[in-house]
Chains A and B, each alone.
Chain A
């Protein structure tokens, strides 16, 4: 399964590549990265065929936020699942994510064990 990870922090890419190195080697997961909401939208329009099945997106990003991206994805690619990943783990934020159609909410610091379980449960 192809995952799109959207986060303005550059080290997120390394972190995910290391964490999922075995799964990537085994061909269970492939990862693409975008460092802004705008880049994610561009990438989604370029990838052919559209085999991204899950987006993991930070909320707090300069310019287009994770919530803006969520709305666009849910409007244009409704089958695409979106998990919001954020340091704002309060109920209000989570409710808002749900209201915009997020499929799950993961609070930072990320527990990768839980994240992995959630990712594979979408299959």
Chain B
């Protein structure tokens, strides 16, 4: 901006006046030459007519010019070509034969030839007016420049007030909205386009706020659906799980009743002892299987309850074992054709870690469900008759952490989408078969709730392995 102003000042105060002066000087030069030619012509005519008064008249003609400094009549000797000043007006002006123009004077010469004499008229005209003109131009330009500057400042002030300030306010508000502040509003009273822009911005922010609230509500609903879907699958697995202990509770109870009747009837002491031993064993089994059924129900309740928030010392091997079975039965309940070899490699004597078991169990369930889905999907598509679906769950202690690896020999994850699989709502399953929230929720449970890490390794066509790392 400063350089523009300086350039403008240079142009107005120096360049423009200089250029004007040059033009004026050129014109002046021409004028003086014309004048000189006119006098030379007058003198020529006078000399031709031998009218010597006419010579004086011709020279007097130019005396009227205000800028005239001198006019000289110069004779040229025809044979020697030597020049002599015959007359100069004013007489005392020091004229030389080859006078040149200078800053203060323009000197022009015009030759003439008559039968009686050859010579030149030499005129010297002052440039005072030109210099004065230059000064006037400079002063005028300066004044114009100042007026323009003043108008510019005034316009700038108006622009700033009506455009720049509101636009900057809009920019600041937009930046804050971008940072998440959905309460920003700008002044939108103006009747011009800036006012319209402000009103449009305010409307946009309000609608953005509403849309965000709706999005959050929809997300919560989907998260709830994901949990319900997971619970539904669990329920199927749990129903099967409960039938097994119930089988023992019912039958050992019935058998115990029979044994009691036998005990009542028996007279043989040895027989009675044997019966009582059997009864004792049966009652223990009834108790054990009753507790087993109870813990299965408790597990289901824990899963449906959501995040309890408090961490408790947790046996990771037990959690993995329990939920591996549940996940398998859950899948089987929905898909009778499903079969899979499950390999469990649990490192012995893993320390208990502080964890929220109902949330971690959700993670294990999710990873196993994904693994089972992957192998089942590959089975459907596979042309190999000898494809054997396998899922393994491994736990190990290493570097101050407990690692849980869930691995399947499904089709693997294409490298193009591997970075997206933990993103909320990202799914490769057909519509209706998944909310795309399982891995995202699992990731949050591991990293945010348990300060752990979750990662995936995969090779297309070979395997996928999810690894959870939990600090001890």
Measured CB to CB, the residues of A under 8 A from B are 9, 11, 14-15, 18-19, 60, 62-63, 65, 67-68, 87-88, 90, 92-93, 96, 108-110, 112
Q: Pick the most buried of B243, B246, B281, B329: most chain A CB atoms within 10 A of its CB.
A: B243
Contact across chains for B336 and A109 when beta carbons are under 8 A apart? no
Determine the chain B residues whose CB is within 8 A of the CB of A9 once the complex forms. Answer: 244, 248
The CA-CA distance from A64 to B248 in the complex, in Å, is 23
In the complex, the answer to whether A96 meets B336 with C-beta atoms within 8 Å is yes
Q: Are A15 and B248 also in contact (CB < 8 A) when A62-B342, A108-B243 are? A: yes
Q: Which residues of B contact A19 (CB under 8 A)?
A: 251, 255
Please, which residues of chain B bring their CB within 8 A of the CB of A67? Answer: 339
B252 to chain A: closest residue by CB: A15
Q: Please report the C-alpha to C-alpha distance between residue A11 and residue B341 in the assembled complex, in whole angstroms.
A: 23
Task: Answer yes or no: B87 CB below 8 A from chain A CBs.
Answer: no
**Given A88-B240, A96-B336, A18 contacting B342 (CB threshold 8 A):** no
Which of A18, A62, A63, A92 is the one whose CB lies under 8 Å from B255? A18
Given contacts A14-B281, A62-B342, contact A110 B251 (CB under 8 A): yes
Please give the distance in Å from A12's CB to the nearest CB on chain B. 8
B residues less than 8 Å from A108 (CB atoms): 243-244, 246-247
Q: B349 → chain A, closest Cβ, in Å? A: 23
Nearest-neighbor residue (CB-CB) of B255 within chain A: A18
- Bound-state Cα–Cα, A9 to B341, Å: 18
Do B332 and A112 touch (CB < 8 A)? no
- Distance A12 CA – B246 CA, assembled complex (angstroms): 12
Residue B282 at the chain A interface, CB threshold 8 Å: yes
User: Contacts A19-B255, A109-B250 given: A93-B244 contact, CB under 8 Å?
Assistant: no
Q: How far is the CA of A63 from the CA of B259 in the complex (A)?
A: 36
B240 near A18 with CB under 8 A, answer no
What are 18 A-to-B residue pairs whose CB atoms are below 8 Å? A11-B289, A14-B281, A15-B248, A18-B255, A18-B278, A18-B282, A19-B255, A60-B240, A60-B332, A67-B339, A68-B339, A87-B239, A87-B244, A90-B336, A92-B336, A109-B249, A110-B247, A112-B251
B41 on the interface (CB 8 Å rule)?
no
Q: B83 at interface (Cβ–Cβ under 8 A)?
A: no
A-B CB proximity, top 3 nearest = A87-B243, A109-B247, A108-B247
- Chain B residues positioned under 8 Å from A92 (CB to CB): 336
Question: Which residues of A have CB within 8 Å of B337?
Answer: 96
Q: Name the residue of chain A whose CB is nearest to the CB of B325.
A: A62
Q: Give the chain B neighbours of A109 by CB distance below 8 A.
A: 243, 246-247, 249-251
Q: How far is the CA of A62 from the CA of B344 in the complex (A)?
A: 11
Contacts A60-B240, A63-B341, A108-B243 known; 19 new A-B pairs at CB < 8 A: A9-B244, A9-B248, A15-B248, A18-B255, A19-B255, A60-B332, A65-B339, A68-B339, A87-B240, A87-B243, A88-B332, A88-B336, A90-B336, A108-B244, A108-B246, A109-B243, A109-B250, A109-B251, A110-B251
Cβ of B297 within 8 Å of any chain A Cβ, yes or no, is no
| Complex partner residue of A15 from B243, B255, B329, B333, CB under 8 angstroms | B255
Report how far A63 CA is from B388 CA in the complex, Å: 11
B247 proximity list for chain A (CB < 8 A): 87, 108-110
Closest to A67 in B: B339
A11 to B282, CA, bound (A): 10
Distance, CA A83 to CA B439, complexed state (A): 41
- Residue of B whose beta carbon sits closest to that of A113: B254
Instruction: List chain B residues, Cβ under 8 A from A110.
Output: 247, 251
Please determine whether B329 and A60 come into contact, CB atoms closer than 8 angstroms.
yes
Q: Complex Cα distance A11/B286, Å?
A: 11
**Chain A, Cβ-Cβ closest to B333:** A88
Q: What is the bound-complex CA distance between A71 and B194, given in angstroms?
A: 81
Q: Among residues 301 to 358 in chain B, which have CB atoms less than 8 Å away from a CB atom of chain A?
A: 329, 332-333, 336-337, 339, 341-342
A97 to chain B, nearest CB (A): 10
Q: Is the CB of A11 within 8 A of B248?
A: yes
What residues of chain A lie closer than 8 Å to B199, measured between beta carbons? none
User: Which residues of chain A are within 8 angstroms of B341 by Cβ–Cβ distance?
Assistant: 62-63
Residues of A contacting B397 in the complex (Cβ-Cβ under 8 angstroms): none
Residues of A within 8 A of B239 (CB): 87
- Structural contact, A15 and B251, CB atoms closer than 8 A: yes
B285 part of interface (Cβ distance < 8 Å): yes
- How far, in angstroms, from A62 to B243 measured CA to CA in the complex? 17
Q: How far is the CB of A42 from chain B (nearest CB, A)?
A: 18
B285/A11 in contact, CB under 8 A: yes
Verify B336–A93 contact, CB threshold 8 A: yes
Report Cα–Cα, A108/B254, bound state, in Å: 15
Q: How far is the CB of A121 from chain B (nearest CB, A)?
A: 21
CA distance A31 to B329 in the complex (A): 28
Q: How far is the CA of A109 from the CA of B244 in the complex (A)?
A: 7
B238 to chain A, nearest CB (A): 11
Question: How far is it, in angstroms, between the C-alpha of A87 and the C-alpha of B341 when the chains are bound?
Answer: 20
Looking across the interface, which residue of chain A has its beta carbon closest to that of B337?
A96
In angstroms, how far is the closest chain A Cβ from the Cβ of B242? 8
